[in-house]
Structure 1
Amino acid sequence: MIRKEAEENRSLKIEKYNTDLAIIGGGMSGVCAAITAARQGLKVILVQDRPVLGGNASSEVRLWILGATSHMGNNNRWSREGGIIDELLVENTYRNPEGNPIILDMILLDKVKQEPNITLLLNTAVYEVNKSEPERIESIKAFCSQNATTYIIHAPLFCDASGDGVVSFLSGAAFRMGAETAEEFNEPMAPDASYGELLGHSLYFYTKDTEKPVKFTAPAFAIDVQKEIPRYKSFNAKEHGCKLWWVEHGGRMDTVHDTEKIKWELWKVIYGVWDYIKNSGNFPEAENYTLEWVGMIPGKRESRRFEGDYILSQSDLIEQKVHEDAVAYGGWSIDLHPADGVFSERSPCNQWHSKGIFQIPYRCLYSKNIKNLFLAGRIISVSHVAFGGTRVMGTCAYVAQAAAVAAALCLKHHKLPAELYQDNYMPHLQKALIRTGQYIPNVDWEDEADNVQQANLKSSSHFEFKGFNRDNLVFKTLSIAAAQMLPVHPGKFPAFKVLLRADAPTTFQAELRISARHGGFTPDTVLAVKHIALQAGEQDVNIDFDVVIDQDQYAFVCFLINEKVQLAYSDQRFTGMLSVFNGVNKAVSNNGKQVAPEGSGVETFEFWCPQRRPEGQNIALQFDEVIHTFSEHNIKNGIDRPTVQPNAWVADLADPAPTIEVAWEHEKFIEKIDLVFDTDTDHPMESVLMTHPETVMPFCVRNYHIEDEHGNVVYRKRDNYQARNEIVFESQLKIKKLKIILEHPSTNVPASLFSVRCYTIKHF
């Protein structure tokens, strides 16, 4: 029993921490930053003001995680973000393909708690910043309402991933809120006052079929959506969750301090929507439906943006500018919404895509005036227009990972964030990021610590692509234009044949296209056109475009619409091979072609996008000669995804034991091996609501083992599903040769491998 006599004053419990890096905010940005930093060897305290992790992706809000892949609705091929965010999305797809947000909560908590270097403080809100000098944070104070404890956290570096930028704001960091004028950054897309300067909040609801009639009586505060919401006819009984992203409000208000008011307005809308669906008589199919869940906190889109040494703007995104300090990339459209949200007469979004992914420079990731403060997530240094493309969670998390690795470099070299850039540490940072799985477009690297770079490589086989097999063919009507993407080298594009069926005599059009921007995937340059007469029935057609390709790149063999023609598709799938279609994906304002308004600063171009599996088979082209060789030497080129080439070793499907042999002239001491497999970075892996056709990507090698030169098995892996496999040995391997022996993922998909890296950790 505890008994205390009356006292004049009492104070709450206080706990003090000293750590290497304090991360504030436990959304996807904070989670990925914390895990990344912890694996870099830093002691991390992760402060989250909610009971779960994940922020807008969590069960409290339930928005899907997306980034550059954009629902596969743009021309950003193989653009899913790497590193920890990729690991989490792959894990979620494996364990939670149904998109249950509760399971995602569990996965995030599990991943964070597995890291011994992370101290996690949930339900803990930062309310005070203490500075040792005007431009340096010394400590923060935070309070946990659940255990009535105040935490005082000291650290040499802080990373603000809190969404509203609470630590950055309290520290006095320079920030912006609202839209810049078009003149400040020469941004034609900058909105005017009638459109509004801020994006609002959203609340979602989930429904459930109870298999018996359910009545609903609306609360008195619910609005009549038929009177107050211009787009009320867009509601239906089947859509719920974040498919109702456009139920948005608050862009005319203070999106920080008015959040509770905005929440109440959104509740009025949500319950009004459900009243309309249940009681208007327009939706008899909803008779057995009930509300299963309604959001308690709104998902925020925009509030403060803090200033770094560079402010990313519209031209950076649209022109895909190259920055020497690039550390991440984005690829979501410039996605702006009218400030009046669901109450607006305007279209609920205004999305304009760039022709490819855009770099994000390191100078956007730290405060320009608070010297030991990193910025992460949606608060990084961008204009309001550029924010439209950087604000989505996949991109936010990717940026946060870069900030975490930068923090590790700062502590290692006794530098402040800005000094990493000023003192020319960018190559070191980029190399460290790539080692973690962070792909940085247009950044090449040579890893002198990787022993494979000095090794001789030999494979048991390599795939020589001459086309797809014709077993189990499927014929599909050319109701939308289709294309096969093919990796090609300099030289004459080889002749090929295509199998098709014609319902009646007709002429169809085939084209050979490439991207005007080297490394891009927008087929906007036509190299050759063929008009081919067909007879009725099934037939092989031989095509020779008689064109010379000038450099390594992807070419597009395009077949334009003809309803009388059916193309043959193969069930074979290979790493780095895709079919794409000039179709429509209205979820991301993709109507087959982006037609830019005059003076908008945006480009007009067509969208050629893949289809989700089980669709998206390859067009059964067959070539007269080998068009591409998937050599084992690709595994040491430092690129772990397709770019201008597939960048993978792919074994021959007939090889019974696909093997890579890594041999050195002299003995090596190996403590760590990194392998990178293909988990299909073109698949967006939305985290909630949308389901996925597989739990494991079809290209991923499931089973493999590693032998030394004497045939001893030094490592064995079964049921792999992750891209990156890091193998750390308890004691050094003293070897002259390694053999990595793989199994094909399936009878239609050959084994492939992007990279093998071998390290002696003390030299790492």
Structure 2
Amino acid sequence: MIIETKQSMTRKNYKVEMKTDIVIVGGGLAGTCAAITAARAGSKVVLVQDRPVLGGNSSSEVRLWILGATSHMGNNNRWAREGGVVDEILVENLFRNREGNAVIFDTILLEKVSNEANITLLLNTAVHELSKKDESTIESVKAFCSQTSTDYCLKAPAFIDSSGDGVVGFLAGAPFRMGAESKEEFGELFAPDEAYGKMLGHTIYFYTKDTGKPVKYLAPSYALKDIRQIPRYKNINSNMNGCNFWWFEYGGREEDTIKTTEEIKWELWKVVYGAWDYIKNSGKFPDAENMTLEWVGMIPGKRESRRFEGEYMLKQQDIIEQKQFDDAVAYGGWAIDLHPGDGVYSKLPGCSQWHSKGIYQIPFRALTSTSIKNLLFAGRIISATHVAFGSTRVMATSAHVAQASALAAKMCADKSIAVKEVLKKANMNHLQQKLSINGQSIPHLPIDYAELSVEKPTVRTSSTYELKKLPFDGDFVSLVEGITQLLPLEGGKKYGFRILVKSENESLLKIQLRKSLKTGNYTPDEILEEMELSVAKGKQYLSFTFDAVLESDQYAFLTILPNKHVNVMSSEQRLSGTLSLFQKMNKAVSNHGAQMPPEGIGVESFEFWTPKRRPDGKNLAFEVSEPIQLFSNDNISNGYVRPYLKTNAWAASLSDKNPEVKLSWKKPQKIDEIRLFFDTDYDHPMESVLMGHPEDVIPFCVRNYSILDQDNNELFIKKDNYQTINTIKLEQPLKCTELKFRFEHPSSSVPATVFEILCLNNSN
């Protein structure tokens, strides 16, 4: 029992002081991934989140799906889902929560953080003050927890600001920007005019449910009275929920979207409750009679506020031209996506999205501050112009960047160096390699075995899958959209193919061999050869050989152009590193089959060839004159953990009932950790909420395997795996010249496939 007498002076809140290695402010997806990354690397982390749950815009408080470079599978960025911790979270969510329940997603994030002993999590705790050692060094931040009446003083040698609004950078006096730059400042031709206001606005979503009986609805007095004030009100229907209302946006005209957030929120509530009034009471939606509002967001999902100035500011040209940086640490691939300033009240389209032909690199310098030497940024507040921010702002990209900030902050804390010193060649190489072995997949940058503590092994396998054909066992697929099969072909070789078609009448079928002009892209913008084949009425096989050859090993596109009279046979066979694409539209990401920008906005024209979601989008059935070597055992140690130029995976022959990989070294190696990289289909966006998915485990993923030492003693057995990266930490370091890995095929039609196997010695 506590009894306190009257105090003549004011009382003070409880006070707690903490010293740690890294303080991360902001527990959205970026801050969460940063905290987990740093903690697993050995740093003590305090993660400060001003909300009751983690995840920010992806949490149950806002309920936005997580997206990034995959862009709903609506662009030409193949196998582009972000790697590392953000991938682990999305794969975990698919396994537990393929229906996309935002509340379940909350628990997954909370569990991931609570499982890390090196993380101290402070929920409902807002940073409000900051102190410095000197003009350029943060000493501590002060925060208050409203639920415990506790004042915190958090001290660390390194800080990461992933707060969305940049509270740490702001309090520290770091230079920042709000609003759009002019065309002249950076030469960005897509810099917006006045129609696009100053910034992107906020959004609030709502969910509905059918109660099975009539439900009445009386709108609150502040609800929008005249739905016609929303120019696109005819797009509203009773089946829409959550992210379907991404265009319920407001605040783009504001000078400061932080200061006016509460005003913006009230305007969005006005729109939401007015829209529901329209659905329930206009008489136009009789199916809504039994429906009720299940949930309305209490806080808006913010798109844009502050952007901080770093040693480099990413701009439009970097994205469109896919500029390469020596200090690349992450990548992006979402379209440059700007919204009209009047948001939901605008007569303009809800967004203007322009895609690049492939993913682009994000340099470390964009995560730094020009004035604060122990501060790194993560999330949507990194150093980018308003135009470039239109792409970098999305959550999966933000989280990917955050993982780089986390390991850089660890380096700074461990070595007592300023952030800018990470740019030194040796430090940057170390950072990039640490990220790579965590699955970051920095474009064009493989794992360098010379940098690892264990020598590169010799790899032998019990068998190797050769692609001689994809069986003619599927359905006939209409060529209304056309189809292209993406295949990794060898340079200098001619390939002949045989396909099965069915035609309504005599016709001509155009077939092309294409490749990407830019190495590593998946935009088929160069036609190497075209032929026209005569097709008779009915079913028939067509055989053809391309005289054109590739100059080097890379992906090529076996392309059959649209013909509404012809169908082509598909295959039930599924393989890692190859898939079928269609010239189809995806209006959700402004894909209308081809990108045709107006003159003078600095964006390229090109065709979209994109996959269909499972269970659709089956591979093209074909036979090939010479086996395609997709899965060489050398791929297991080539440093790439996803397709790029080739599959970069080894796969066993399906006739091999006991697939085995043997790693060997000429001299004994000390090993205390083993990492295996499996195929969880990096082409799958794995949207975290609202959208359901047809499966909870990716069909390419190896489920069961074992590891044996050179004497055939079992070191480790794994059952029912579904994750991309499996990390095995041995209780006792192993000294050996050989390791064996035995795998089971995921199914009778999908071969066991492995991207990479790393053996590490962390005691070095």
Q: Structure 2 length normalisation: TM-score?
A: 0.99
The one of 409, 412, 417 equivalent to 2:411 is 409
Superposed CA offset, 1:77-104 (max 9, x none): 0000000000000000000000000000
| Residue 260 of structure 1 pairs with residue 258 of structure 2 | no
Instruction: Show the counterpart of 1:68.
Output: 69
Aligned residue type for 1:57: S
| Residue 575 of structure 1 pairs with residue 576 of structure 2 | yes
Instruction: Show the counterpart of 2:119.
Output: 118
Q: CA deviation at 1:500?
A: 1.0
| Residue 47 of structure 1 pairs with residue 67 of structure 2 | no
Find the aligned partners of 1:452 and 1:515 in 2 and give their Cα distance: 36
Find the aligned partners of 2:500 and 2:565 in 1 and give their Cα distance: 14
Q: CA deviation at 1:714?
A: 0.9
- Which secondary structure state, in structure 2, belongs to the residue aligned with residue 491 of structure 1? coil
8 Å contact from structure 1 (residues 466, 628) kept in 2 = no
Instruction: Show the counterpart of 2:219.
Output: 218
Aligned residue type for 2:439: G
8 Å contact from structure 2 (residues 219, 277) kept in 1 = yes
Q: CA deviation at 1:491?
A: 1.2
Find the aligned partners of 1:520 and 1:16 in 2 and give their Cα distance: 50
| Residue 275 of structure 1 pairs with residue 274 of structure 2 | no
Instruction: Show the counterpart of 1:507.
Output: 508
Find the aligned partners of 2:153 and 2:166 in 1 and give their Cα distance: 18
Structure 2: which 5+ runs fail to align?
none
Instruction: Show the counterpart of 1:349.
Output: 351
Instruction: Show the counterpart of 1:494.
Output: 495
| Pair 1:454–1:351, CA change in 2 (3 A) | closer
The 10-residue stretch of structure 1 (382-391 or 220-229) with the greater mean CA deviation from structure 2: 220-229
Superposed CA offset, 1:262-300 (max 9, x none): 000000000000000011011111111110000000000
Instruction: Show the counterpart of 2:140.
Output: 139
Find the aligned partners of 1:760 and 1:196 in 2 and give their Cα distance: 54
8 Å contact from structure 1 (residues 594, 607) kept in 2 = yes
Q: CA deviation at 1:164?
A: 0.3
The 10-residue stretch of structure 1 (717-726 or 625-634) with the greater mean CA deviation from structure 2: 625-634
Correspondence list, 1:686-705, <5 A: 686-705=687-706
Instruction: Show the counterpart of 1:377.
Output: 379
Find the aligned partners of 1:366 and 1:225 in 2 and give their Cα distance: 47
8 Å contact from structure 1 (residues 325, 362) kept in 2 = yes
Aligned residue type for 2:28: G
| Pair 1:710–1:445, CA change in 2 (3 A) | closer
Q: CA deviation at 1:36?
A: 0.2
The 10-residue stretch of structure 1 (708-717 or 16-25) with the greater mean CA deviation from structure 2: 708-717
Instruction: Show the counterpart of 2:288.
Output: 286
Q: CA deviation at 1:195?
A: 2.0
8 Å contact from structure 1 (residues 492, 546) kept in 2 = no
Aligned residue type for 1:376: A
Q: How many residues align?
A: 762
8 Å contact from structure 1 (residues 225, 269) kept in 2 = no
Instruction: Show the counterpart of 1:538.
Output: 539
Instruction: Say what the alpha-carbon RMSD is for the aligned residues.
Output: 1.1
Find the aligned partners of 2:400 and 2:494 in 1 and give their Cα distance: 37
Correspondence list, 1:383-394, <5 A: 383-394=385-396
Q: CA deviation at 1:444?
A: 3.5
Find the aligned partners of 2:564 and 2:143 in 1 and give their Cα distance: 64
| Residue 647 of structure 1 pairs with residue 660 of structure 2 | no
8 Å contact from structure 1 (residues 494, 627) kept in 2 = no
Correspondence list, 1:435-446, <5 A: 435-446=437-448
Aligned residue type for 1:100: N
Q: Structure 1 length normalisation: TM-score?
A: 0.99
Instruction: Show the counterpart of 2:721.
Output: 720
8 Å contact from structure 2 (residues 227, 274) kept in 1 = no
Structure 1: which 5+ runs fail to align?
none
Find the aligned partners of 2:432 and 2:738 in 1 and give their Cα distance: 30
Find the aligned partners of 1:14 and 1:520 in 2 and give their Cα distance: 54
Aligned residue type for 1:367: S
Find the aligned partners of 1:159 and 1:617 in 2 and give their Cα distance: 44
Instruction: Show the counterpart of 1:565.
Output: 566
Find the aligned partners of 1:50 and 1:456 in 2 and give their Cα distance: 50
Aligned residue type for 2:65: W
- Which secondary structure state, in structure 2, belongs to the residue aligned with residue 406 of structure 1? helix
Instruction: Show the counterpart of 1:153.
Output: 154
Q: CA deviation at 1:686?
A: 0.3
- Which secondary structure state, in structure 1, belongs to the residue aligned with residue 698 of structure 2? coil
Percent identity between matched residues is 55
Q: CA deviation at 1:443?
A: 1.8
Aligned residue type for 1:283: F
Find the aligned partners of 2:641 and 2:176 in 1 and give their Cα distance: 36
8 Å contact from structure 1 (residues 451, 757) kept in 2 = no
Aligned residue type for 2:340: P
Find the aligned partners of 2:630 and 2:384 in 1 and give their Cα distance: 42
- Which secondary structure state, in structure 2, belongs to the residue aligned with residue 761 of structure 1? coil
| Pair 1:261–1:391, CA change in 2 (3 A) | same
Instruction: Show the counterpart of 2:99.
Output: 98
| Residue 455 of structure 1 pairs with residue 460 of structure 2 | no
Instruction: Show the counterpart of 1:82.
Output: 83
Instruction: Show the counterpart of 1:395.
Output: 397
Q: CA deviation at 1:452?
A: 6.5
Find the aligned partners of 1:492 and 1:157 in 2 and give their Cα distance: 53
Find the aligned partners of 1:212 and 1:629 in 2 and give their Cα distance: 57
Superposed CA offset, 1:147-172 (max 9, x none): 00000001111100000001110110
Instruction: Show the counterpart of 2:6.
Output: 6
Find the aligned partners of 2:422 and 2:457 in 1 and give their Cα distance: 33
8 Å contact from structure 1 (residues 225, 232) kept in 2 = no
Aligned residue type for 1:599: G
8 Å contact from structure 1 (residues 452, 662) kept in 2 = no
Q: CA deviation at 1:424?
A: 4.8
- Which secondary structure state, in structure 2, belongs to the residue aligned with residue 675 of structure 1? strand
Q: CA deviation at 1:423?
A: 6.0
The one of 305, 308, 311 equivalent to 1:309 is 311
- Which secondary structure state, in structure 1, belongs to the residue aligned with residue 512 of structure 2? strand
Q: CA deviation at 1:428?
A: 1.1
| Residue 756 of structure 1 pairs with residue 757 of structure 2 | yes
| Pair 1:629–1:100, CA change in 2 (3 A) | closer
Superposed CA offset, 1:615-667 (max 9, x none): 11110011011122411110111100001110000111111011101122233
Find the aligned partners of 2:616 and 2:474 in 1 and give their Cα distance: 13
8 Å contact from structure 2 (residues 459, 636) kept in 1 = no
- Which secondary structure state, in structure 2, belongs to the residue aligned with residue 608 of structure 1? coil
Instruction: Show the counterpart of 2:596.
Output: 595
Superposed CA offset, 1:382-441 (max 9, x none): 000000000000000000000001111222332111111146521111111101111100
The one of 416, 424, 427 equivalent to 1:425 is 427
| Residue 326 of structure 1 pairs with residue 328 of structure 2 | yes
Superposed CA offset, 1:464-485 (max 9, x none): 1122122x32111111111000
Instruction: Show the counterpart of 1:241.
Output: 242
Find the aligned partners of 2:531 and 2:194 in 1 and give their Cα distance: 50
Superposed CA offset, 1:357-387 (max 9, x none): 0100000001110111101100000000000
Find the aligned partners of 2:481 and 2:393 in 1 and give their Cα distance: 32
8 Å contact from structure 1 (residues 70, 332) kept in 2 = yes
Superposed CA offset, 1:38-58 (max 9, x none): 011000000000000000000
| Pair 1:677–1:225, CA change in 2 (3 A) | farther
Q: CA deviation at 1:450?
A: 4.3
8 Å contact from structure 2 (residues 453, 762) kept in 1 = no
8 Å contact from structure 1 (residues 176, 307) kept in 2 = yes
- Which secondary structure state, in structure 1, belongs to the residue aligned with residue 727 of structure 2? strand
Q: CA deviation at 1:461?
A: 0.2
8 Å contact from structure 1 (residues 126, 166) kept in 2 = yes
8 Å contact from structure 1 (residues 58, 104) kept in 2 = yes
- Which secondary structure state, in structure 2, belongs to the residue aligned with residue 484 of structure 1? strand
- Which secondary structure state, in structure 1, belongs to the residue aligned with residue 720 of structure 2? coil
Q: CA deviation at 1:125?
A: 0.3
Correspondence list, 1:174-189, <5 A: 174-189=175-190
The one of 357, 365, 368 equivalent to 1:366 is 368
- Which secondary structure state, in structure 2, belongs to the residue aligned with residue 194 of structure 1? helix
Find the aligned partners of 1:686 and 1:462 in 2 and give their Cα distance: 33
Aligned residue type for 1:289: M
Find the aligned partners of 2:620 and 2:452 in 1 and give their Cα distance: 38
Find the aligned partners of 1:174 and 1:511 in 2 and give their Cα distance: 52
Superposed CA offset, 1:212-245 (max 9, x none): 1111111111113433111110100001101110
